[in-house]
């Protein structure tokens, strides 16, 4: 074990980190959240900005009253903040607010100007389903392969570009994997995509909270044409997300959702749409969500994205080092602590032939450690990383369709946020060691339909913690 007090702690700038949660033995413990790749806790700056803004909150865009005008001003400022944060040029790019990354990808899929000749989208086998399924609905999708270690196979990327020469309209690729933390070389891929006459979209759901994003001007061959992000993964859980993309794309065509707030003229038989971004924000927007996202960005910028990356690389290197001490633990993807700075702090593993559901349950019920388990909305990637044969995969699909998820292949995933600390990793490693050695208190029962493990006799009164 190393020295476990980190040089810097960011705990103070977050909400709720000292809250104690109940354990199976009747005690309480400060919750350890290692599920940041799913959603992150709120920053205090976000809570304060929302509280402050709510006293002025009013309708945006069409109101003439002071509060409406102030709300419109704040909403538009939030838009500028997002553009600046991702290195976009407001003359070339627009920021369209929506619900989350999934909605942003779906919007681009419906709004992208495919042509008869160019109707292929290259994605990869490591994508989250949200950056795969929307494309299948509108284009021919080609999946670039991965290497056995779970990296994007760049040789296969080149091969696909060549094989579909003249037909690839768009490359849509993850900026960072939500399973292994792998960081595809997005700017190099962008250069190749552009050289092949295609555009590139980058799913920044995981990248945005952890790394600086720079879309670069459209004149730069390595620029990014579109990016997607979700505020709830960026410490601003108020239901917003953003699609930042080329203005020229959204100047064309009809919006995917139709209604108020996006039109210049409507007669009984004619519509003139507004310019972007309004054209693509039908209905009343989530103003509070946009303010929350901008407040989170201001806080992240004040800390500095390099400092964020450095702290998280320290956590990741330490976690990989400590986890590798457990002989029965298998890490998927890159497990070398020396390369911790070249990936995100997302680490998937399995231990001592115990099914992932059980490990996650014991960590939660007996140690107050929140992790994620399963397939992380990336089924093809998981099956490849785990070397699941086609025969086994067939059996798994059969079991799922029979509503039996008890033996679905999966992993346990820990994922770090800015506020996590080295001492929390020590607690996790100690817990995993105990689990490996069969030292745990509960008697667990597995639910057939969900596959989840529940401790017998466990009851908790959630109303005691939160109620309306």
Ligand X SMILES: Cc1ncc(COP(=O)(O)O)c(C=O)c1O
Q: How far is the CB of 371 from ligand X (least distance, A)?
A: 14
- Which pair of structure tokens corresponds to residue 34? 């290692």
**Residues 298, 81 contacting (CB under 8 angstroms):** yes
State in angstroms the smallest separation of the CB of 204 from ligand X.
Answer: 8
Measured from the CB atom, the residue of 322 and 413 that comes closer to ligand X is 413
Closer residue to ligand X (CB): 177 or 299: 177
Q: How far is the CB of 417 from ligand X (least distance, A)?
A: 14
Residue span binding ligand X (CB under 6 A) among the ranges 99-107, 258-266, 298-306, 416-424: 99-107
Distance, CA of 85 to CA of 212 (rounded, Å): 8
Instruction: For residue 421, give the nearest of 3, 11, 2 by alpha carbon.
Output: 11
Per-residue burial over 402-414, b if 16 or more Cβ lie within 10 Å, else e, is eeebeebbbbbbb
Q: Which of 160, 352, 377, 436 is catalytic?
A: 377
Three-state secondary structure call for residue 202: strand
Q: Closest distance between ligand X and the C-beta of residue 37, in Å?
A: 6
- Binding region for ligand X (CB under 6 A) out of 88-96, 203-211, 321-329, 411-419: 203-211
Stretch that binds ligand X, among 49-57, 198-206, 297-305, 416-424 (CB under 6 A): 198-206
Q: Which is nearer to ligand X, 40 or 178 (CB)?
A: 178
- Of residues 292 and 431, the one with the C-beta less far from ligand X: 292
What are the CA-CA distances from residue 450 to residues 34, 73, 333, 400, 455 (Å)? 22, 46, 26, 9, 15
Contact range with ligand X by CB under 6 A, out of 123-131, 135-143, 422-430, 447-455 = 123-131
Does 131 bind ligand X (CB under 6 A)? Our answer is: yes
Stretch that binds ligand X, among 19-27, 124-132, 140-148, 271-279 (CB under 6 A): 124-132
Q: Which is nearer to ligand X, 35 or 421 (CB)?
A: 35
Q: How far is the CB of 199 from ligand X (least distance, A)?
A: 19
128 forms part of the interface with ligand X (CB under 6 A):
yes
Q: How far is the CB of 375 from ligand X (least distance, A)?
A: 12
Task: Give 463's contacts (C-beta < 8 A, 6+ positions apart).
Answer: none
DSSP 175: S
Q: How many residues bind ligand X (CB under 6 A)?
A: 14
Q: How many CA atoms lie within 13 A of 416 on its CB side?
A: 31
Q: Give, as ranges, the residues between 22 and 41 that touch ligand X (CB under 6 A).
A: 37-38
> What CA–CA distance (Å, rounded) separates 391 from 398?
11
What is the DSSP secondary-structure string of 392-437? HHHHHHHHHHTT--TT---EEEEE--TT--HHHHHHHHHHHHHHHT
- Cβ 463 to ligand X shortest distance, Å: 28
Query: Could you give the CA distance from residue 61 to residue 181 in angstroms, rounded to a whole number?
Result: 40
**Binding window for ligand X (CB under 6 A); candidates: 97-105, 263-271, 277-285, 291-299:** 97-105
Region binding ligand X by CB under 6 A among candidate stretches 40-48, 141-149, 199-207, 318-326: 199-207
Which residue, 128 or 356, is less far from ligand X as judged by CB?
128
By CB under 6 A, name the one of 36, 102, 286, 321 that touches ligand X.
Answer: 102
Cα 410 to the chain's mean position, in Å? 19
Rule CB under 6 A: is residue 174 a binding residue for ligand X?
yes
Task: Enumerate the β-bridge partners of residue 32.
Answer: 369
Closer residue to ligand X (CB): 128 or 246? 128
- Report the nearest approach of ligand X to the CB of residue 179 (Å): 8
Options 101, 180, 335, 415; binder of ligand X; rule CB under 6 A: 101
Query: Per residue in 201-213, is it b (16+ CB within 10 Å) or e — as a string?
Result: bbbbbbbbbbbbb
Is the separation of the CB atoms in 297 and 270 below 8 Å? no
468 cis-preceded (ω within 30 degrees of 0): no
Verify binding: residue 206, ligand X, rule CB under 6 A.
Answer: yes
Which listed residue (40, 130, 199, 321) binds ligand X by CB under 6 A? Answer: 130
**71 or 100, CB closer to ligand X?**
100
377 catalytically annotated: yes
State the Cα–Cα distance between residues 131 and 206, nearest whole angstrom. 12
Kindly state the smallest distance separating residue 410's Cβ from ligand X, in Å: 15
Task: Give how far the C-alpha of residue 70 lies from the chain's centroid of Cα atoms, to the nearest Å.
Answer: 31
- Using DSSP's 3-state secondary structure scheme, residue 307 falls into helix
CA dist 421 and 358 (Å) reads 25
User: From the list 124, 230, 249, 350, which residue makes contact with ligand X (rule: CB under 6 A)?
Assistant: 230
Three-point CA angle 390, 141, 126, nearest 5°: 55
Among 205, 297, 308, 422, binds ligand X (CB under 6 A): 205
- The answer to the question of residue 203 lying near ligand X (CB under 6 A) is yes
Answer yes or no whether residue 100 interacts with ligand X by CB under 6 A. yes
**Catalytic residue set:** 377
Residues that bind ligand X (CB under 6 A): 37-38, 100-102, 128, 130-131, 174, 178, 203, 205-206, 230
């Amino acid at each position: 074990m190393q020295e476990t007090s980190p040089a810097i702690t960011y705990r103070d700038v977050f909400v709720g980190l000292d809250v104690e949660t109940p354990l199976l033995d009747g005690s309480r413990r400060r919750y350890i959240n290692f599920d940041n790749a799913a959603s992150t806790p709120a920053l205090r700056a976000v809570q304060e900005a929302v509280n402050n803004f709510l006293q002025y909150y009013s309708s945006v865009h069409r109101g003439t009253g002071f509060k409406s005008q102030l709300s419109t001003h704040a909403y538009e400022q939030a838009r500028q903040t997002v553009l600046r944060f991702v290195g976009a040029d407001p003359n070339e790019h627009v920021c369209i607010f929506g619900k989350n990354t999934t909605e942003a990808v779906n919007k681009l899929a419906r709004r992208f100007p495919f042509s008869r000749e160019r109707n292929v989208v290259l994605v990869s086998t490591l994508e989250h389903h949200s950056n795969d399924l929307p494309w299948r609905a509108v284009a021919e999708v080609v999946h670039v392969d991965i290497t056995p270690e779970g990296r994007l196979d760049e040789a296969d990327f080149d091969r696909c570009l060549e094989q579909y020469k003249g037909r690839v309209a768009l490359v849509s690729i993850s900026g960072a994997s939500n399973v292994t933390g792998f960081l595809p070389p997005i700017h190099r891929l962008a250069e190749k995509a552009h050289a092949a006459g295609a555009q590139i979209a980058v799913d920044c759901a995981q990248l945005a909270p952890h790394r600086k994003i720079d879309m670069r001007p459209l004149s730069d061959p390595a620029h990014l044409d579109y990016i997607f992000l979700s505020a709830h993964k960026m410490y601003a859980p108020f239901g917003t997300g953003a699609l930042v993309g080329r203005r020229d794309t959204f100047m064309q065509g009809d919006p995917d959702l139709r209604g108020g707030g996006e039109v210049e003229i409507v007669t009984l038989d004619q519509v003139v749409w507004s310019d972007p971004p309004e054209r693509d924000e039908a209905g009343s927007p989530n103003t509070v969500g946009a303010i929350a996202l901008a407040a989170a960005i201001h806080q992240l910028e004040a800390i500095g994205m390099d400092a964020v990356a450095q702290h998280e690389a320290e956590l990741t290197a330490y976690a990989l080092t400590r986890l590798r001490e457990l002989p029965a633990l298998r890490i998927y993807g890159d497990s070398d602590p020396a390369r911790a700075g070249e990936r995100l702090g997302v680490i998937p593993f399995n231990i001592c032939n115990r099914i992932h559901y059980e490990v996650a349950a014991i960590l939660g019920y007996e140690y107050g450690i929140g992790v994620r388990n399963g397939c992380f909305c990336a089924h093809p990637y998981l099956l490849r990383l785990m070397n699941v044969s086609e025969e086994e995969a067939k059996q798994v699909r059969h079991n799922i369709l029979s509503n039996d998820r008890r033996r679905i292949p999966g992993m346990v995933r820990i994922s770090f946020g800015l506020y996590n600390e080295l001492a929390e990793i020590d607690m996790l490693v100690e817990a995993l060691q105990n689990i490996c050695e069969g030292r745990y208190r509960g008697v667990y029962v597995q639910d057939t339909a969900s596959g989840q493990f529940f401790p017998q006799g466990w009851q908790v009164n959630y109303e005691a913690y939160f109620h309306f």
